[in-house]
């Protein structure tokens, strides 16, 4: 196997891992604070990607410029779903919320198909002229995906570490009852959790659209790798999700050296099963799954 091919797959893995990281962070925040596994998270990514398509079509801006609009609109939809459905079910068992999220996922997927149609879409028609580095060809969008993901992760780190809301979110993730007894506004923290997780999911969806075509099941296809990344890093641990996302992305792409690309999701599933058996709380000691 040529060295250039290995480097190419490694670059692909970092790009995919950057997208998975943003999705896994949002999923971990939801599990850590809201206490349920959101199976609609992949479809929230898809919705964000299509909101980006709407902004691009309506105004002619580039994909990266459409990202703030997609993040805002996706948050508003996610908040509306929380206030009308999830809020009424928070006092029930987590399995009920999980089942409700599956139903929301199907509804969102169907709504996207009705509005934008079942066909594939692209943000930019034509062929992107790659940047050549030796024998390696790199798509310009990859620089924006990796760089954008790094900026968002850094912004989230500063938010969690240096703001009162961020510290309240970390307190609720560690011990919700103690945080509530300390006077932390639980509903405010929940709204912020949906804002951050939905915005990151939308950004991941737009980045996925920059790298490939849009279709109504694009986020659903990534749901398993996102869960695998969150579990690998420790479910409920957003910092662990960063390592988990990059690991899953790189391992999936590098696995094509030995197996057909169609079996890449099986690699994510296999890693998730191994981690659940060997270390159920994840490599960074997240909440028990």
* Most confident stretch, 69-83, 131-145, 251-265: 69-83
CA atoms of 105 and 250, how far apart (whole Å): 27
CA atoms of 160 and 258, how far apart (whole Å): 40
CA atoms of 123 and 63, how far apart (whole Å): 7
Half-sphere CA count of 153, side-chain side, radius 13 A: 24
CA atoms of 45 and 222, how far apart (whole Å): 9
The two tokens of residue 42 are: 């992949």
Which residue is it, tokens 């804002």? 195
Q: What is the mean pLDDT of residues 101-121?
A: 95
Residues 18, 28 contacting (CB under 8 angstroms):
no
Give bridge partners of residue 137 from the DSSP assignment: 132
- What confidence score (pLDDT) does residue 132 get? 77
Of the candidates 177, 205, 229, 262, the residue with the CA atom closest to the CA atom of residue 25: 229
- What confidence score (pLDDT) does residue 108 get? 96
Of the candidates 23, 61, 66, 34, the residue with the CA atom closest to the CA atom of residue 233: 23
pTM value is 0.90
CA atoms of 120 and 89, how far apart (whole Å): 35
Q: At 126, is the pLDDT very low, low, confident or very high (cuts 50, 70, 90)?
A: low
CA atoms of 191 and 75, how far apart (whole Å): 9
Helices 238-254 & 218-233, crossing angle to 10 degrees?
Answer: 120
pLDDT at residue 288 greater than cutoff 60 = no
DSSP code of 129?
P
CA atoms of 36 and 177, how far apart (whole Å): 16
CA atoms of 240 and 229, how far apart (whole Å): 9
The mean pLDDT of the chain is: 88
In terms of residues, how long is the chain? 289
pLDDT at residue 118 greater than cutoff 50 = yes
pLDDT in tens, 98-110: 999 999 999 999 9
Q: Where are the alpha helices (DSSP H) in 35-119?
A: 41-59, 63-81, 87-89, 94-116
Give bridge partners of residue 138 from the DSSP assignment: 131
pLDDT in tens, 71-101: 999 999 999 999 999 998 888 888 899 999 9
Which residue is it, tokens 């790298």? 211
Give bridge partners of residue 214 from the DSSP assignment: 121
CA distances in angstroms from 61 to 57, 86, 125, 126, 145, listed in the order given: 8, 35, 14, 16, 17
């Amino acid at each position: 196997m040529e060295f250039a091919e290995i480097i190419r797959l490694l670059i692909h893995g970092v790009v995919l891992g950057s997208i998975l990281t943003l999705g896994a962070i949002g999923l971990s925040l939801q599990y850590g604070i809201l206490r349920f596994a959101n199976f609609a998270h992949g479809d929230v990514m898809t919705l964000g990607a299509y909101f980006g398509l709407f902004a691009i079509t309506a105004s002619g801006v580039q994909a990266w410029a459409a990202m703030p609009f997609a993040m805002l609109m996706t948050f508003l939809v996610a908040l509306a779903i929380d206030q009308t459905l999830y809020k009424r079910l928070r006092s029930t068992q987590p399995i009920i919320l999980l089942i409700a999220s599956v139903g929301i996922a199907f509804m969102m997927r169907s709504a996207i198909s009705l509005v934008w149609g079942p066909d594939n879409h692209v943000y930019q028609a034509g062929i992107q002229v790659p940047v050549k580095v030796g024998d390696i060809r790199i798509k310009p969008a990859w620089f924006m995906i990796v760089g954008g993901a790094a900026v968002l992760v850094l912004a989230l780190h500063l938010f969690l570490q240096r703001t009162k809301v961020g510290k309240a979110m970390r307190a609720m993730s560690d011990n919700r009852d103690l945080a509530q007894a300390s006077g932390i506004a639980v509903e405010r923290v929940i709204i912020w959790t949906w804002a951050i997780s939905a915005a990151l999911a939308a950004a991941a969806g737009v980045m996925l659209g920059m790298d490939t075509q849009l279709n109504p099941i694009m986020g659903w296809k990534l749901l398993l790798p996102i869960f695998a990344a969150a579990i690998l890093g420790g479910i409920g641990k957003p910092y662990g999700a960063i390592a988990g996302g990059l690991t899953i992305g790189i391992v999936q792409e590098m696995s094509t050296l030995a197996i057909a690309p169609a079996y890449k999701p099986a690699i994510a599933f296999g890693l998730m099963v191994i981690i659940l058996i060997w270390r159920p709380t994840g490599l960074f000691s997240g909440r028990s799954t």
